[in-house]
């Protein structure tokens, strides 16, 4: 459903109000950093009399052309704009003093997907840390949470599982915009940078991306659609297993499968659990790359039938449990390394605590596991409320 009234992005407001006109700025962006009219923020800056002194790219690169999720990108020069492009998914995740030299401000315009396990929000945090050190103001151009700003779900990150896919104690599905997260990180978690959030106009918390009137541009190569973003808060946990999360197919994170699974009884058993807002359709697929490349995998496609009641983290926990039960001798948790971590298990970093592994090993049901989230979410909601910018 498309809204009759389009949301004005933070970047729209930034240029419409000439908030950085005549200044030299660094811009943290990628291909999804576009306006309603598909204009990239760098082109809008040039047209608005704003000098771009440096470009910073997050994971997957400034042009989002690196497919895999753990491949570093190099520092390069944008030949058309004659501006240096610094990779913040390289030997450094934080801009150096030399990278920030000569700038009047650092502008961040990144499309988040509403999940703790998405490195763009930590790239933003590291930029804020570096900017504080350099006494440089940070301007965050707010963008919609594509899966809405109401629902919050999943375990809150335990400090023992801090990593580049989870640096602050927030749930898997946090229900905040990137601007709200910037305030949370800066004030509650103590970064202490000088930041300004350029708010959106006419965005409401209940909106999914297809209700904003804004164009969908892939935030990263394996979030091709709003459907993939909707299931991602839970399905991303499959990165911590030897089950394919659909990378190498046209439906990453919507598909999950492995060579040892018979899809029909597998999906039937899942559907018998009557999880809210979801149907598991039996499928067979063959990834072209990544896990089980060129092998036939059995499993299911996750179809969201009611996104207001759908619980992506609960659904993914039930799926993981089902794959373990399908063949305990074949299912395995993925070994490190994972996202700059070489010792701790990837699933613990993704889930945010070792509790999922331990609970499934002890025979707890998905519903019992989900029941354990309530207390920490309740505490998080009290903190979160102080930083919400929209009705």
Answer yes or no: is 23 within a domain: yes
Task: Please give the Cα distance from 316 to 307 (Å, whole number).
Answer: 15
- Is 2 part of any domain? no
Crossing angle of helices 263-271 and 312-326, in 10° steps, is: 140
- What stretches of 153-209 adopt beta strand conformation (E)? 153-156, 171-173, 195-198
| 43 and 190, same domain (yes or no) | yes
CATH code, domain with 258: 3.90.1150.140
* Domain-embedded: residue 3: no
Share of the chain above pLDDT 70, in %: 99
**Does residue 251 belong to any structural domain of this protein?**
yes
Looking at the structure, do residues 45 and 97 belong to the same domain, yes or no?
yes
CB 130 within 8 A of CB 49: no
**Range from 26-35, 65-74, 260-269, 292-301 carrying the lowest mean pLDDT:** 65-74
- 2 has a pLDDT exceeding 90: no
Question: Is there a single domain that holds both residue 115 and residue 152?
Answer: yes
272 and 342 share one domain: yes
Q: How many CA atoms lie within 13 A of 52 on its CB side?
A: 26
Q: What is the pLDDT of residues 297-312, one digit of tens each?
A: 999 999 999 999 999 9
Q: Which domain holds residue 272?
A: 226-353
pLDDT computed for residue 70 by the predictor: 80
**196 contacts: CB under 8 Å, gap ≥ 6:** 137, 138, 139, 140
The candidate with the shortest Cα–Cα distance to 114, out of 29, 234, 216, 27, is 234
Please give the average per-residue pLDDT across 58-83, as a whole number.
90
**What is the pTM (predicted TM-score) of this model?**
0.96
For the chain, give the mean pLDDT: 96
pLDDT band (50, 70, 90) for residue 4 = very low
Query: Do residue 146 and residue 213 come from a single domain?
Result: yes
Mean pLDDT of all residues in 358-380:
97
Whether 5 shows a pLDDT value over 70: the answer reads: no
Res. 224: pLDDT tops 90: yes
Give the model's pLDDT for residue 312: 98
Confidence grade of residue 179 (pLDDT, cut at 50, 70, 90): very high
Residues 132 and 274 in one domain: no
Task: Give the chain's domain count.
Answer: 2
Residue 314 pLDDT > 90: yes
The answer on 190 and 70 residing in a single domain is: yes
Domain end: 187, 217, 247, which one?
217
Question: The tokens of 292 are what?
Answer: 């089980």
Q: Is residue 5 situated within a structural domain? A: no
Question: Which of residues 157, 183, 217 is at a domain's end?
Answer: 217
Give the pLDDT band of residue 363 (cuts 50, 70, 90): very high
Do 262 and 204 sit in the same domain of this protein?
no
Q: Are residues 193 and 278 in the same domain?
A: no
């Amino acid at each position: 459903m498309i809204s009759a009234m389009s949301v004005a992005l933070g970047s729209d407001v930034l240029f419409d109000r000439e908030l950085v006109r005549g200044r030299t700025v660094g811009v943290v962006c990628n291909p999804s950093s576009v306006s309603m009219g598909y204009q990239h923020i760098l082109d809008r800056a040039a047209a608005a009399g704003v000098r771009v002194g440096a470009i910073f790219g997050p994971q997957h690169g400034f042009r989002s052309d690196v497919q895999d999720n753990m491949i570093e990108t190099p520092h390069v020069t944008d030949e058309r704009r004659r501006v240096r492009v610094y990779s913040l998914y390289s030997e450094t995740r934080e801009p150096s003093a030399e990278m920030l030299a000569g700038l009047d401000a650092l502008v961040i315009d990144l499309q988040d997907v509403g999940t703790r396990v998405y490195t763009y929000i930590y790239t933003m945090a590291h930029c804020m840390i570096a900017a504080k050190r350099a006494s440089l103001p940070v301007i965050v151009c707010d963008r919609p949470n594509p899966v809405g700003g109401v629902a919050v779900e999943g375990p809150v990150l335990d400090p023992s599982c801090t990593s580049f896919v989870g640096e602050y104690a927030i749930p898997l599905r946090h229900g905040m915009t990137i601007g709200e997260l910037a305030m949370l990180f800066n004030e509650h978690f103590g970064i202490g940078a000088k930041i300004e959030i350029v708010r959106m106009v006419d965005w409401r918390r209940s909106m999914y991306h297809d209700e904003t009137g804004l164009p969908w541009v892939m935030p990263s190569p394996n979030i091709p659609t709003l459907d993939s973003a909707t299931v991602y808060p839970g399905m991303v946990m499959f990165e911590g297993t030897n089950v394919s999360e659909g990378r190498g197919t046209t439906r990453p994170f919507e598909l999950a499968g492995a060579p040892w699974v018979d899809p029909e009884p597998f999906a039937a058993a899942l559907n018998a659990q009557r999880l809210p807002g979801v149907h598991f359709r039996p499928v067979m697929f063959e990834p072209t790359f990544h896990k089980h490349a060129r092998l036939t995998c059995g499993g299911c496609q996750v179809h969201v039938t009611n996104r207001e009641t759908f619980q992506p983290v609960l659904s993914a926990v039930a799926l993981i449990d089902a794959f373990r039960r399908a063949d305990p001798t074949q299912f395995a948790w993925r070994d490190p390394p994972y996202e700059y971590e070489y010792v701790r298990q990837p699933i613990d970093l993704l889930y945010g605590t070792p509790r999922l592994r331990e609970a499934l090993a002890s025979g707890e049901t998905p519903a019992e596991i989900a029941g354990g989230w309530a207390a920490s979410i309740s505490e998080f909601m009290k903190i979160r409320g102080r930083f919400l910018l929209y009705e």
